Amino acid sequence: MGIRLFNAKQVVRRILLSAEESSNVPKGHFVVYVGETQKRFVVPISYLKNPSFQKLLRHVEEEYGFNHPMGGLTIPCSEQVFHDLICCSS
């Protein structure tokens, strides 16, 4: 479990260091693209500590991996499911 979370943190670190994204993302946040329409969400890094968010990331990594052409973290769940998850995390 710790190794998988470490992989997610590496992905987030790469996203934050990206020149294209860093100008549009507040410090301490990262970008997630969600759903079929790839809606862009900016979420706090603190969400990485949330057990529900970790579970979602593990599932996404197992099913799809984290290497996506958009450069951000892509989560192929519905926008409503993701929205509900982040509302419960705040």
Sequence-distant (≥ 6) Cβ neighbours of residue 6 within 8 angstroms: none
Q: How confident is the model at residue 84 (pLDDT cuts 50, 70, 90)?
A: confident
Per DSSP, 25 falls in state: S
Please state, in angstroms and rounded to a whole number, the distance separating the CA atoms of residues 16 and 73. 11
pLDDT in tens, 28-83: 888 888 988 889 888 899 988 889 888 888 888 888 777 666 666 888 888 998 88
User: pTM of this prediction?
Assistant: 0.68
H-helix or E-strand containing 54? helix 51-64
Give yes or no for a contact between 62 and 53, defined as CB atoms under 8 angstroms apart.
no
